Amino acid sequence: MAFIPANRNLFVIDLHYVVPLDHIDPHLAGHRRFLEDNYASGRLLASGAKVPRTGGVILAVAGSRNEVETLIQKDPFHEAEIARYTITEFEPRMTVPGLKDD
């Protein structure tokens, strides 16, 4: 099974913190549970903090931008209004073997 099923695209979700880090840290446990749940469902491929820590990046797999926007609404960072999100969709044309169903 490929990580990117047929009829799905990749989405880069770029998070930018809009509050100081001391306001972010209390929400980290909930944010990580949100990520873990979405890894388990196959919606996420990778995530992590930016360097320097001004936000984070998430790689998601979805059938539409709307699907990703709905997903983000459930992120505790979004619920607490402590991060701004930019979503970039792209259709991978070239990948390592096994990443994408053709």
CATH number for the segment(s) 17-90 = 3.30.70.1060
pLDDT of 53: 96
Distance CA 58, CA 23 (A): 20
pTM exceeds cut of 0.85: yes
Distance CA 20, CA 8 (A): 35
Instruction: Name the residue ranges covered by the structural domains of the chain.
Output: 17-90
Ranges of beta strands (E only) in the chain are 9-17, 44-49, 55-62, 83-90
77, 19 contact by CB (below 8 A): no
pLDDT tens series, the chain, 102 aa: 678 778 889 999 999 999 999 999 999 999 999 999 999 999 999 999 999 999 999 999 999 999 999 999 999 999 999 999 999 999 888 888 877 776
pLDDT of 78: 98
